[in-house]
Protein backbone atom coordinates (compact mmCIF):
# COMPACT_ATOMS: atom_id res chain seq x y z
CA UNK A 1 0.00 0.00 0.00
CA UNK A 2 1.17 3.49 -0.78
CA UNK A 3 1.32 6.40 1.64
CA UNK A 4 -1.74 8.62 1.59
CA UNK A 5 -1.84 10.80 -1.52
CA UNK A 6 -2.97 14.40 -1.19
CA UNK A 7 -6.02 13.85 -3.39
CA UNK A 8 -7.06 10.27 -2.68
CA UNK A 9 -9.97 10.20 -5.11
CA UNK A 10 -8.27 11.81 -8.07
CA UNK A 11 -6.85 8.63 -9.60
CA UNK A 12 -9.97 6.49 -9.68
CA UNK A 13 -11.89 5.67 -12.87
CA UNK A 14 -15.55 6.04 -11.93
CA UNK A 15 -18.32 4.88 -14.26
CA UNK A 16 -20.38 8.04 -14.94
CA UNK A 17 -23.47 5.95 -15.65
CA UNK A 18 -23.58 4.55 -12.11
CA UNK A 19 -24.43 6.48 -8.94
CA UNK A 20 -21.68 7.03 -6.43
CA UNK A 21 -23.76 5.20 -3.82
CA UNK A 22 -23.07 1.91 -5.62
CA UNK A 23 -19.32 2.15 -5.13
CA UNK A 24 -18.18 -0.66 -2.85
CA UNK A 25 -14.42 -0.49 -2.98
CA UNK A 26 -11.45 1.24 -4.58
CA UNK A 27 -8.35 -0.54 -5.78
CA UNK A 28 -4.79 0.63 -5.38
CA UNK A 29 -4.52 0.67 -9.19
CA UNK A 30 -7.43 3.06 -9.70
CA UNK A 31 -10.16 0.52 -10.43
CA UNK A 32 -13.61 1.00 -8.90
CA UNK A 33 -15.62 -1.96 -7.65
CA UNK A 34 -19.40 -1.57 -7.62
CA UNK A 35 -22.05 -3.40 -5.69
CA UNK A 36 -23.74 -6.13 -7.61
CA UNK A 37 -27.34 -7.30 -7.63
CA UNK A 38 -26.07 -10.78 -6.80
CA UNK A 39 -24.46 -9.48 -3.66
CA UNK A 40 -27.53 -7.50 -2.65
CA UNK A 41 -29.66 -10.59 -3.19
CA UNK A 42 -27.30 -12.70 -1.09
CA UNK A 43 -27.49 -10.20 1.74
CA UNK A 44 -31.28 -10.10 1.63
CA UNK A 45 -31.53 -13.88 1.43
CA UNK A 46 -29.74 -14.11 4.77
CA UNK A 47 -31.99 -11.63 6.58
CA UNK A 48 -34.20 -13.33 9.15
CA UNK A 49 -37.74 -12.49 10.25
CA UNK A 50 -36.38 -9.91 12.70
CA UNK A 51 -34.56 -8.12 9.91
CA UNK A 52 -31.17 -9.31 11.13
CA UNK A 53 -28.59 -10.72 8.73
CA UNK A 54 -27.00 -13.97 9.86
CA UNK A 55 -24.29 -15.65 7.77
CA UNK A 56 -23.78 -19.15 9.10
CA UNK A 57 -20.45 -20.72 9.93
CA UNK A 58 -19.34 -23.47 7.55
CA UNK A 59 -18.02 -26.60 9.20
CA UNK A 60 -16.73 -29.62 7.25
CA UNK A 61 -18.44 -32.88 8.17
CA UNK A 62 -15.08 -34.38 9.07
CA UNK A 63 -14.40 -31.72 11.69
CA UNK A 64 -15.42 -32.18 15.30
CA UNK A 65 -17.26 -29.29 16.87
CA UNK A 66 -16.01 -28.14 20.22
CA UNK A 67 -18.87 -28.27 22.69
CA UNK A 68 -18.30 -25.32 24.92
CA UNK A 69 -17.85 -25.92 28.62
CA UNK A 70 -20.37 -24.38 30.97
CA UNK A 71 -19.79 -20.61 30.79
CA UNK A 72 -17.84 -19.34 33.75
CA UNK A 73 -19.12 -16.66 36.01
CA UNK A 74 -17.37 -13.52 34.82
CA UNK A 75 -16.02 -12.10 38.05
CA UNK A 76 -12.44 -11.42 39.00
CA UNK A 77 -9.30 -10.64 37.12
CA UNK A 78 -8.69 -13.50 34.75
CA UNK A 79 -11.34 -15.88 33.44
CA UNK A 80 -9.38 -17.26 30.51
CA UNK A 81 -8.77 -20.95 29.91
CA UNK A 82 -6.16 -22.74 27.83
CA UNK A 83 -7.15 -24.66 24.72
CA UNK A 84 -5.55 -28.09 24.57
CA UNK A 85 -6.12 -30.70 21.89
CA UNK A 86 -9.32 -28.89 20.91
CA UNK A 87 -7.23 -26.88 18.44
CA UNK A 88 -8.25 -29.46 15.81
CA UNK A 89 -11.93 -28.95 16.58
CA UNK A 90 -14.09 -26.13 15.29
CA UNK A 91 -14.14 -23.21 16.09
CA UNK A 92 -10.56 -23.25 17.42
CA UNK A 93 -9.34 -24.83 14.18
CA UNK A 94 -10.42 -21.64 12.37
CA UNK A 95 -8.54 -19.28 14.69
CA UNK A 96 -5.29 -18.21 13.09
CA UNK A 97 -1.93 -17.13 14.47
CA UNK A 98 -0.65 -14.43 12.10
CA UNK A 99 3.14 -13.96 12.26
CA UNK A 100 5.01 -11.13 10.55
CA UNK A 101 7.58 -8.39 11.10
CA UNK A 102 7.26 -4.63 11.11
CA UNK A 103 9.69 -3.38 8.51
CA UNK A 104 11.06 -0.55 10.67
CA UNK A 105 12.32 -2.93 13.37
CA UNK A 106 12.54 -6.37 11.77
CA UNK A 107 11.40 -8.04 14.98
CA UNK A 108 9.03 -11.01 14.64
CA UNK A 109 5.57 -10.26 16.05
CA UNK A 110 2.05 -11.65 15.83
CA UNK A 111 -1.67 -10.98 15.88
CA UNK A 112 -4.75 -13.21 15.86
CA UNK A 113 -7.21 -13.77 13.03
CA UNK A 114 -10.14 -15.98 12.02
CA UNK A 115 -11.00 -17.69 8.77
CA UNK A 116 -14.11 -16.35 7.11
CA UNK A 117 -13.54 -17.81 3.67
CA UNK A 118 -11.38 -20.68 2.56
CA UNK A 119 -8.46 -18.36 1.91
CA UNK A 120 -9.48 -15.18 3.78
CA UNK A 121 -8.57 -14.32 7.36
CA UNK A 122 -10.14 -11.39 9.23
CA UNK A 123 -7.88 -9.51 11.64
CA UNK A 124 -7.37 -6.01 13.05
CA UNK A 125 -6.32 -3.32 10.56
CA UNK A 126 -3.56 -2.12 12.87
CA UNK A 127 -1.83 -5.48 12.40
CA UNK A 128 -1.61 -4.77 8.66
CA UNK A 129 -1.19 -1.03 8.41
CA UNK A 130 -0.25 1.32 11.24
CA UNK A 131 1.10 4.75 10.30
CA UNK A 132 0.97 5.95 13.92
CA UNK A 133 3.27 3.38 15.49
CA UNK A 134 5.33 2.71 12.34
CA UNK A 135 5.37 6.00 10.41
CA UNK A 136 8.38 5.19 8.24
CA UNK A 137 7.08 1.75 7.18
CA UNK A 138 3.34 1.63 7.94
CA UNK A 139 2.57 -1.58 6.05
CA UNK A 140 3.61 -4.68 7.96
CA UNK A 141 5.73 -7.36 6.32
CA UNK A 142 4.27 -10.40 4.59
CA UNK A 143 2.10 -12.46 6.90
CA UNK A 144 2.45 -16.18 7.54
CA UNK A 145 -0.74 -17.76 8.90
CA UNK A 146 -0.89 -20.80 11.22
CA UNK A 147 -4.52 -21.97 11.63
CA UNK A 148 -5.19 -23.70 14.94
CA UNK A 149 -1.62 -23.19 16.20
CA UNK A 150 -1.34 -24.28 19.82
CA UNK A 151 1.83 -25.45 21.56
CA UNK A 152 -0.30 -26.88 24.39
CA UNK A 153 -1.75 -29.47 22.01
CA UNK A 154 -0.36 -32.86 21.03
CA UNK A 155 -0.78 -31.59 17.47
CA UNK A 156 0.57 -28.04 17.79
CA UNK A 157 0.39 -26.98 14.14
CA UNK A 158 -2.35 -29.15 12.60
CA UNK A 159 -2.84 -27.17 9.41
CA UNK A 160 0.71 -26.01 8.72
CA UNK A 161 1.63 -22.53 7.54
CA UNK A 162 0.13 -20.43 4.74
CA UNK A 163 1.65 -17.34 3.20
CA UNK A 164 -0.11 -14.11 2.34
CA UNK A 165 -1.32 -13.44 -1.18
CA UNK A 166 -2.68 -9.94 -0.59
CA UNK A 167 -4.56 -7.88 1.97
CA UNK A 168 -7.06 -5.07 2.34
CA UNK A 169 -7.88 -2.63 5.07
CA UNK A 170 -10.64 -0.02 4.93
CA UNK A 171 -9.91 3.06 2.94
CA UNK A 172 -11.05 5.11 5.95
CA UNK A 173 -8.51 3.42 8.19
CA UNK A 174 -5.68 4.75 6.05
CA UNK A 175 -7.02 8.16 5.07
CA UNK A 176 -9.09 9.19 8.10
CA UNK A 177 -6.51 8.82 10.86
CA UNK A 178 -7.06 5.18 11.81
CA UNK A 179 -10.32 5.47 13.78
CA UNK A 180 -11.25 2.47 15.91
CA UNK A 181 -14.48 1.73 14.02
CA UNK A 182 -12.43 0.87 10.93
CA UNK A 183 -9.88 -1.31 12.71
CA UNK A 184 -10.42 -4.47 10.67
CA UNK A 185 -8.92 -5.97 7.56
CA UNK A 186 -8.46 -9.13 5.55
CA UNK A 187 -5.41 -11.22 4.76
CA UNK A 188 -5.89 -13.45 1.73
CA UNK A 189 -3.76 -16.58 1.71
CA UNK A 190 -2.20 -18.59 -1.06
CA UNK A 191 -4.23 -21.77 -0.64
CA UNK A 192 -7.63 -22.86 0.57
CA UNK A 193 -7.00 -24.10 4.09
CA UNK A 194 -10.44 -22.88 5.18
CA UNK A 195 -11.95 -25.95 3.49
CA UNK A 196 -10.31 -28.05 6.22
CA UNK A 197 -10.50 -25.76 9.25
CA UNK A 198 -14.10 -24.59 8.82
CA UNK A 199 -15.18 -20.98 8.58
CA UNK A 200 -16.58 -18.57 11.13
CA UNK A 201 -19.94 -17.01 10.36
CA UNK A 202 -20.91 -13.46 11.24
CA UNK A 203 -24.09 -11.66 12.12
CA UNK A 204 -25.73 -8.40 13.04
CA UNK A 205 -27.29 -8.10 16.47
CA UNK A 206 -29.34 -5.72 18.53
CA UNK A 207 -28.64 -7.19 21.93
CA UNK A 208 -26.58 -9.98 23.43
CA UNK A 209 -28.25 -12.31 25.91
CA UNK A 210 -25.44 -14.78 26.52
CA UNK A 211 -21.70 -14.68 27.13
CA UNK A 212 -19.27 -13.38 24.58
CA UNK A 213 -16.36 -15.69 23.81
CA UNK A 214 -13.01 -14.40 22.59
CA UNK A 215 -10.01 -16.56 21.69
CA UNK A 216 -6.50 -15.68 20.63
CA UNK A 217 -2.79 -15.71 21.41
CA UNK A 218 -2.13 -13.52 24.49
CA UNK A 219 1.44 -12.43 25.23
CA UNK A 220 1.07 -12.79 29.00
CA UNK A 221 0.21 -16.50 28.78
CA UNK A 222 3.03 -17.33 26.39
CA UNK A 223 5.45 -14.67 25.24
CA UNK A 224 6.30 -16.70 22.14
CA UNK A 225 2.65 -16.35 21.09
CA UNK A 226 1.99 -20.03 20.44
CA UNK A 227 -0.62 -20.87 23.05
CA UNK A 228 -4.29 -20.55 22.18
CA UNK A 229 -6.46 -19.23 25.00
CA UNK A 230 -10.16 -18.51 25.21
CA UNK A 231 -12.40 -16.75 27.69
CA UNK A 232 -15.84 -15.37 28.41
CA UNK A 233 -17.18 -11.93 29.09
CA UNK A 234 -20.25 -9.79 28.81
CA UNK A 235 -21.22 -6.75 26.80
CA UNK A 236 -20.46 -3.58 28.77
CA UNK A 237 -21.46 -1.01 26.18
CA UNK A 238 -22.72 -0.81 22.62
CA UNK A 239 -22.12 1.89 20.07
CA UNK A 240 -23.38 1.85 16.50
CA UNK A 241 -19.98 0.74 15.18
CA UNK A 242 -18.21 -0.60 18.31
CA UNK A 243 -18.80 -3.32 20.89
CA UNK A 244 -17.37 -3.05 24.41
CA UNK A 245 -16.96 -6.25 26.44
CA UNK A 246 -15.51 -7.45 29.72
CA UNK A 247 -13.45 -10.36 28.30
CA UNK A 248 -9.89 -10.48 29.62
CA UNK A 249 -7.50 -9.66 26.80
CA UNK A 250 -3.81 -8.91 26.33
CA UNK A 251 -1.33 -7.92 23.63
CA UNK A 252 -1.26 -10.46 20.81
CA UNK A 253 -5.04 -10.88 20.72
CA UNK A 254 -5.73 -8.05 18.28
CA UNK A 255 -7.88 -9.45 15.50
CA UNK A 256 -9.44 -12.19 17.65
CA UNK A 257 -12.97 -13.32 16.87
CA UNK A 258 -15.70 -12.33 19.33
CA UNK A 259 -18.84 -14.43 19.19
CA UNK A 260 -21.82 -15.16 21.40
CA UNK A 261 -21.35 -18.46 23.14
CA UNK A 262 -24.21 -20.83 22.42
CA UNK A 263 -26.30 -18.47 20.30
CA UNK A 264 -28.87 -20.87 18.89
CA UNK A 265 -29.64 -19.77 15.34
CA UNK A 266 -26.16 -18.69 14.30
CA UNK A 267 -23.58 -20.58 16.31
CA UNK A 268 -19.96 -19.43 15.93
CA UNK A 269 -21.07 -16.25 14.20
CA UNK A 270 -18.78 -13.35 15.05
CA UNK A 271 -20.19 -10.04 16.14
CA UNK A 272 -16.90 -8.09 16.52
CA UNK A 273 -13.17 -8.12 15.81
CA UNK A 274 -11.12 -7.58 18.95
CA UNK A 275 -8.92 -4.51 18.67
CA UNK A 276 -7.99 -2.73 21.90
CA UNK A 277 -8.13 -2.39 25.67
CA UNK A 278 -9.79 0.73 26.97
CA UNK A 279 -8.81 3.02 29.81
CA UNK A 280 -11.74 2.23 32.08
CA UNK A 281 -9.90 -0.84 33.33
CA UNK A 282 -12.76 -3.23 32.69
CA UNK A 283 -13.53 -3.12 28.99
CA UNK A 284 -12.01 -4.03 25.70
CA UNK A 285 -13.54 -3.17 22.37
CA UNK A 286 -13.60 -3.91 18.69
CA UNK A 287 -15.41 -2.93 15.52
CA UNK A 288 -18.93 -4.31 15.43
CA UNK A 289 -20.13 -6.50 12.60
CA UNK A 290 -22.81 -4.28 11.19
CA UNK A 291 -23.87 -2.40 8.09
CA UNK A 292 -20.92 -1.82 5.83
CA UNK A 293 -18.61 -4.28 7.55
CA UNK A 294 -21.21 -6.99 7.02
CA UNK A 295 -21.34 -6.15 3.35
CA UNK A 296 -17.59 -6.45 3.07
CA UNK A 297 -17.56 -9.75 4.93
CA UNK A 298 -20.22 -11.13 2.62
CA UNK A 299 -18.19 -9.95 -0.31
CA UNK A 300 -15.24 -11.97 0.98
CA UNK A 301 -17.41 -14.99 1.66
CA UNK A 302 -18.99 -15.03 -1.78
CA UNK A 303 -15.70 -14.71 -3.65
CA UNK A 304 -16.85 -11.84 -5.85
CA UNK A 305 -13.50 -10.23 -5.37
CA UNK A 306 -10.93 -9.73 -8.10
CA UNK A 307 -7.31 -10.64 -7.65
CA UNK A 308 -6.14 -7.18 -6.82
CA UNK A 309 -6.07 -4.99 -3.81
CA UNK A 310 -9.35 -3.23 -3.07
CA UNK A 311 -10.05 -0.74 -0.35
CA UNK A 312 -13.68 -0.54 0.73
CA UNK A 313 -15.37 2.82 0.74
CA UNK A 314 -18.07 3.94 3.14
CA UNK A 315 -21.30 5.20 1.67
CA UNK A 316 -22.35 8.44 3.37
Partner 1 sequence: MNIHHRFIYTVQILLLLLSGCSTTLVVDTPEITPPTQTKSGIRLNGIVTDTSYAVSHNLVHIALVDESNQIGVPGVVSIPPEAPILLQEQGVFSPFKIENIVIGQKVTVIASEVLEGVPFSTVATEVLLRDTGPKDSLTPLSTWIKPHFEGVIKDITTGNNAGFSVLNLTIDGVSIQDNAKIQFQFISITEKSMIWIKSKDGYLLEKPGYLVPGQSVSILLFQAYDSQFPGTFNPVLEIIVNSE
Of the pair 129, 299, the CB lying nearest partner 1 is at 129
Stretch near partner 1 under the rule CB under 8 A, chosen from 8-16, 65-73, 97-105, 234-242: 97-105
Q: Does 3 bind partner 1 (CB under 8 A)?
A: no
Min separation Cβ 29 and partner 1, Å: 27
Of the pair 201, 218, the CB lying nearest partner 1 is at 218
Q: Does 179 bind partner 1 (CB under 8 A)?
A: no
Asked if 250 and 221 count as a contact pair (C-beta separation under 8 A), the reply is yes
Helix 37-45, helix 291-301: angle, nearest 10:
110
- Rg of the chain taking only CA atoms, in angstroms: 19
Alpha-carbon gap, residue 170 to 178, rounded angstroms: 9
Stretch near partner 1 under the rule CB under 8 A, chosen from 87-95, 113-121, 228-236, 271-279: 271-279
Asked if 254 and 186 count as a contact pair (C-beta separation under 8 A), the reply is no
Stretch near partner 1 under the rule CB under 8 A, chosen from 14-22, 63-71, 87-95, 244-252: 244-252
Asked if 248 and 233 count as a contact pair (C-beta separation under 8 A), the reply is yes
Of the pair 46, 226, the CB lying nearest partner 1 is at 226
Asked if 120 and 149 count as a contact pair (C-beta separation under 8 A), the reply is no
Q: Does 110 bind partner 1 (CB under 8 A)?
A: yes
Q: Does 288 bind partner 1 (CB under 8 A)?
A: no
- Residue from 87, 93, 246, 284 binding partner 1 (CB under 8 A): 284
CB proximity list for 121: less than 8 A, separation 6 or greater: 96, 98, 113, 114, 115, 145, 186, 187, 188, 189
Min separation Cβ 148 and partner 1, Å: 13
CB proximity list for 92: less than 8 A, separation 6 or greater: 66, 83, 86, 148, 150, 215, 228, 230
> What is the dihedral sign for C-alpha 84, 88, 91, 92?
positive
Print the binding letters for residues 195-224 with partner 1: x by CB under 8 A, - otherwise.
------------------------xx-xxx
Q: Does 276 bind partner 1 (CB under 8 A)?
A: yes
Mode of pairing for the β-strands spanning 162-168 and 242-245: unpaired
Which of positions 127-166 make contact with partner 1 (CB under 8 A)?
A: 127, 130, 132-136, 141, 151, 156-157
Measured in degrees and rounded to the nearest 5, phi and psi for residue 163 equal -95, 155
Q: Does 309 bind partner 1 (CB under 8 A)?
A: no
Stretch near partner 1 under the rule CB under 8 A, chosen from 15-23, 24-32, 192-200, 246-254: 246-254
Interface ranges with partner 1 (CB under 8 A): 101, 103, 105-111, 124, 126-127, 130, 132-136, 141, 151, 156-157, 180, 183, 219-220, 222-226, 249-255, 274-279, 281, 284-285
Amino acid sequence: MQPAPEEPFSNFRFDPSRPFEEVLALSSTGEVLYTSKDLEDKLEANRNADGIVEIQSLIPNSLLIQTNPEPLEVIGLDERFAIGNENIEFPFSAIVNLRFSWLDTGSPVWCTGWLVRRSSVITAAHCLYDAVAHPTEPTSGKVTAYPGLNSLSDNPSPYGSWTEFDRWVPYEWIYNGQPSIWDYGVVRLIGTIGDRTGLFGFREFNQINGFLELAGYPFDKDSSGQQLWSGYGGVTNLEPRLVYYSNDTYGGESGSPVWENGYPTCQFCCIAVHSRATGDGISSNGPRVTSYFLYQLLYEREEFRLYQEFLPLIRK
